[in-house]
Chains A and B, each alone.
Chain A
Amino acid sequence: MAGTRRAQTFAEVLRVLPTASSAGVYWRARAAMLPSIDDLDAFQAAFLEFFGAIDDADALRRLVRTVDAPPRPAPNAPKRETIPPPPSDRPAGPELADKAPILWIAASSQDRLSDKAFEDLDEAERAAMMRLIERVRTAAELRASRRRRADQHGDRFDFRRTLQSAARTAGELARRRTTRRRLRLRPVAFVLDVSGSMTPFARALVQYARVTAAARPAVSAFAFATRLTDLTPLLKRAGDDRLMSAIAQTVRDYGGGTRIGAALRTFNDRYAVRGAARGGTVVILSDGWEREDPALVGAEMARLRRLTRRIVWVNPHKRHAAYEPLARGMAAALPYLDAFLSGHNLRTLEAVADAIEGRLG
């Protein structure tokens, strides 16, 4: 975390502001080398390891503990979950499919796979499906930014450029220059229930989130069962394996059952209010089976409603003709939705892309 440049800064500080006390060294080191409050634990460990070898280690430990009691971040400060490395015993299936040419997949299996539910796929088909999802249209919705750029047919007069060009024409205001608002992408956040029967559908949507994140900025993704994990850092960096094992970890760590309300609350508190969803679309995948009080689901959905522009709920059970939203969490969430889709296969996934842009009621 601390690069050489930060260490140099620290050395400079000690030269300019020398100190004899351990606390003095600690605070100087922290001001110079701590990049973010999220890294405090790592910083303290490194500090103790290094200075513990020189100084009285116990005394230092006491110092770090006492000195740092008050200025810790509030419990709702965002903290990235650390994701363990992928297990080495991954199944052999996907590798085979990886080598299959894309065109071949497209020609022979797209039709067959388009209507097959994600949960009914076998290993090879799933790998093929992951490739197919890469070709689903990327959802992108624009809004006008406050920032402006030069545009010949803009809607606001640009004094500065007009006068600059006037200098070239001997002070004659010959050409009218204008600016126009820049366009920006509205954010999209995927909040995916990965517990039990939702896993195959979550995999498909995570893949879609990855494809979207590769094509445009402002995409985030989260997995939840009983707690919420931020997958966003993995969306752009990691391959399929790391993401999937992160999802598996989310389920393993936090045991069975689903706490939709609690997960939504964490999402709202930590991410939605900070901009992951403001003015954009949130895609929630869940069957709506809430283990705890469904009233919390309703309350958090109401909050989310106020924070976002659009909420899309994906519930694979909806594909059955006889489906009724009997799950209490689902019933509580219904009044706040802009779109309620099944998203259970490739064809309906395209509908999700439309719904993100508000093209489906």
Chain B
Amino acid sequence: MPQPVDVDDLRQGLLGVGYVADAGLATALACGVSLGRAILLEGDAGVGKTDAARALAAVFGAQLLRLQCYEGLDLAAAAYDWNYGKQLLAIRTAEASERPGADEARRIPDLYGDEFLIRRPLLAALGATRERGIVLLIDEIDRADDEFEAFLLEFLADFAISIPERGTIAATHPPIVVLTSNRTRDLHDALKRRCFYHWIGHPTVEREIEIIRLHLPDVAPELAGDVARAAANLRERGLRKAPGIAESLDWTQTLGLLGARRLETEVFEPSLGSVLKYPEDIDLARASAAAIVAAARGPSTGSG
């Protein structure tokens, strides 16, 4: 049985490995871990869904297995496959060493033994031990198709995979499962019902500063503040793609490379490509460059 994990302890632990989680996210993760249930994280691209799983693995000293979903993802790529080359070789070897009069049944080797089985992430995730747990990250589940989602239901319910040639393989120590979705389509209710759900929103300015400084300790504190405020300002402008934390980090790094210690008008435009990814958005930001830079530098220069 999974061990209960205290919410605040988990939050501290995540912070210790460089991930800033708010109370909601920490609670959802703690619930999932404590009850041995999957956690479904939704949110815009770049808000730290995948990193949450990575951090969770680091906190528990567990191995992280990542399964990137795509349309057409099938069991051979997600769960298990057979090593056909090896199987063929085994058949040929058996034929070559065949003695006349040998027992008919012994002529054909067992082609479905462990040595022929290739373990893909889902099957590998069932191999957790008491000493070393496993965090299974099923990334961008919304990109997979319905058929795969249906299979996942079975997997999440029992933490077992049935292989027709071998029978059912079940986990002795269930893995911690994290699913992420960008919401390119709605997931089935049956799948959602089996998960704890959390929507990761864009962070507050304070939290974003914390994250930037945690990830980029060499950056000037003022610059981190400027970027966080500018990102918050950009997110309010109805862009096609509002910048996520990943973009803020990229932006900070870019500005650092450009030698900036504060967000200035001169570096604002050249660095926009690291934070906005649509030409329309860049045009829009350019048009209000002065306002954004002013907002970014507001609190420390004025009374704000």
Contact = CB atoms under 8 A, between A and B. Distances in A.
Contact of B197 (A23, A34, A72, A146): A34
A330 to B, nearest CB: 23
A171 B95 contact: yes
A274 B165 CA distance: 39
B238 A166 contact: no
Contacts of A137: none
B298 interface: no
B199 A37 contact: yes
A171 B207 contact: no
Contacts of A12: 35
Interface string B176-212: 0000000111100100110011111111100100000
Contacts of B199: 37, 40, 71, 73
Interface in A46-94: 67, 69-75, 77-78
A27 B23 contact: yes
Contacts, number: 126
Contact of A163 (B22, B87, B201): B87
A112 interface: no
A171 B107 contact: yes
A32 B196 contact: yes
A99 interface: no
A116 interface: no
A147 B149 CA distance: 14
Interface string B70-108: 111010100001101001100100110000000000011
A360 B111 CA distance: 54
Contacts of A299: 280
A340 B49 CA distance: 44
A17 B193 contact: no
A34 B147 CA distance: 25
Contact of B82 (A16, A36, A71, A160): A160
B38 to A, nearest CB: 12
B18 to A, nearest CB: 20
A28 interface: yes
Contact of B193 (A3, A16, A24, A160): A3
Nearest to A31: B28
Contacts of B51: none
Interface string A136-174: 000000000111100000000001100110110011000
B30 interface: yes
Contact of A17 (B4, B94, B184): B4
Contacts of A6: 193
A145 B72 CA distance: 7
A27 B240 contact: no
B88 to A, nearest CB: 7
A70 B27 contact: no
Contacts of B189: 35
B31 to A, nearest CB: 5
A313 to B, nearest CB: 23
B251 to A, nearest CB: 18
B151 to A, nearest CB: 12
B24 A31 contact: yes
Q: SS class of chain A's interface: helix, strand, loop or mixed?
A: helix
B242 interface: yes
Contacts of A32: 31, 196
Nearest to A75: B238
Of listed B24, B44, B186, residue having the most chain A CB within 10 A: B24
Nearest to B148: A147
B250 interface: no
A299 B283 CA distance: 13
A166 B165 CA distance: 14
Contact of A70 (B35, B84, B201): B201
Nearest to B23: A27
28 contacts: A17-B6, A17-B30, A17-B31, A27-B7, A27-B28, A30-B28, A31-B32, A31-B196, A31-B197, A31-B198, A32-B196, A35-B193, A36-B192, A67-B24, A70-B203, A71-B22, A71-B199, A71-B200, A74-B242, A78-B183, A145-B71, A146-B72, A159-B82, A159-B84, A160-B82, A160-B84, A167-B108, A273-B184
Given A71-B200, A146-B71, 8 more contacts: A3-B193, A5-B193, A72-B201, A73-B199, A77-B183, A170-B107, A171-B107, A274-B183
Interface of B: 4-7, 22-24, 27-28, 30-32, 34-35, 37, 42, 44, 70-72, 74, 76, 81-82, 84, 87-88, 91, 94-95, 107-108, 111, 145, 147, 165, 183-186, 189, 192-193, 196-204, 207, 235, 238, 240, 242, 280
Interface of A: 3, 5-6, 9, 12-13, 16-17, 19, 23-24, 27-28, 30-32, 34-37, 40, 67, 69-75, 77-78, 145-148, 159-160, 163-164, 166-167, 170-171, 269, 273-275, 299
